[in-house]
Amino acid sequence: MLDKFDVQAQFTRLLSGKLWPEFKKRGYKRHCGNFRYYDAAGWGKIVNVQKSAFSTKGNISFTINTGLYLREAERYLMGRANEEKFLEPDCLIRKRIGSLAGNDLDLWYNLDGQTVWSDVEAVVTQDVHQVVLPYLDGIRSVEDIMHQLFRERGPGVFAGIRALFVYGRKAEARQWLADEQNSTVYTYRKKQLQELSRELDATE
């Protein structure tokens, strides 16, 4: 079991001693709870270890977020390009550990006075090695992110279609748009998709 002083120390140990070395040797840079990889070609990937806003010195809940970043998508969609300083909210594709693991659970880990440290360490380390790293290791280029985006058709339909279009994947963007138009029965949604179609026409 941990006292309230050990809780923060063990959380820091988990980040610095167990998780960070695996990302460091892959070329990631660290800023606090963010492990970020950025390629000069304008793409990146990131892991964010997020503490709950309700965490205290003696009780820390945390989860693991991942993101896939595209500079030109951010520039087009947000009017900025953070490039090598991008954070997880700047990413086009964002996934939490529960989603990556293939379930609908919003998975959080907990460290408190009742925690057996070795159990938490083992679970988090296993999830990172078996779920997070294989996912991120499979992303090596802009094309890999484009493939992921079109295959999953998400998470954001409008941002995703625009990103495909910006990166020259116009046929795939049009196909996705057509599929969305054919599948919706809502008038307001149809209107939004028609407006998006006109927007794409205007950029060609």
Assess whether pLDDT exceeds 60 at residue 2. no
Confidence category of residue 76, pLDDT binned at 50, 70, 90 = very high
Assess whether pLDDT exceeds 60 at residue 3. no
pLDDT at 135: 97
Query: What is the distance between the alpha carbons of residues 50 and 107, in angstroms, rounded to a whole number?
Result: 12
Number of CB atoms found within 10 A of residue 204's CB: 6
Assess whether pLDDT exceeds 80 at residue 104. no
Q: Which residues contact 167 (CB under 8 A, 6 or more apart)?
A: 70, 72, 73, 142, 146
pLDDT at 202: 92
Assess whether pLDDT exceeds 70 at residue 176. yes
Helix, coil or strand: residue 50: strand
pLDDT at 112: 87
pTM: 0.92
